[in-house]
Each structure stands twice: as structure tokens, then as C-alpha cells.
Amino acid sequence: MRDETVEWITQAEYDIDTAQAMFDAGRYIYSVFMSHLAIEKSLKAMVVEYLGEAPPKTHNLIYLLKLCKVELSDSQVRFIAQLNTAAVAIRYPDELKILIEQYPSSIAEKYLENAREVVKCLKQKAN
């Protein structure tokens, strides 16, 4: 595994742990946000590992997934698309109160569980 790949994966794991910390603190929208960031960095690790080039400076998970051509399950791809959409609203909220209502603990927990699974899967594919 390339050194840059290891670095991206290390950051992704740090971010998924931070997503858990945000969840535990009741900061559910930030848990979802950090879940997105963890998958983003995991996909950037795949770009480095599979293509041998620096990943683009983008937050678009679908673009990164297509770029690195990594194979994931249909449910993982659907989740990534859902998280990609959620992250835009979280990054640039129109109204914080509404956003907080849209991401209660039950929803944030599902995002976190799925994100943890994707991060783990991508790490395994990098090896």
C-alpha cells in the first residue's frame, strides 16, 4: 500500500471516530457530516492506491466513487448517494433548527453504522 493511501485511511479512521464522538455528544448533524468526511477520505485513498495520482479536491462522493472504480455493494452505493446529498444540506444549512429535526439520533446512528461499514470495506480493498 502506498504511503499516501495509508495517510488517507488514517485520516478516515480518525474522522469516523470523531463521527462517533459527535454522536455520543448528541451532535447528530456533525456525526453525519464527519461520516461523510470519513468516506470522502477513504475514497480518496482508493484514488491514490488504484490510479496512482493525487485525488481531486472535491467533496462529491459519487464522483470519487466513479473515479476510483472501486466495487461496492448496491446498498453501499445507495448509502453513499444518500450521504452525498445529506452532506450538502448539512454543510450549507438554510435553517439549523429544521436540519437538527431532520437528523435525530435514530437517523444519525444509521448513517454512522453504514459509514463505518463503508470505511472498513474500502480499507480492506486498499490492502
pLDDT, tens digit, 9 for 90 and up, residues 40-80: 999 999 999 999 999 999 999 999 999 999 999 999 999 99
pTM over the 0.85 mark = yes
Domains of the chain: residue spans and CATH: 3-126 (1.20.120.330)
**How does residue 27 score in pLDDT terms, banded at 50, 70 and 90?**
very high
Q: Number of helices and strands (H, E) in the chain? A: 6, 0
Neighbours of 56 (CB within 10 A): 11
Cell numbers for 73: 455493494
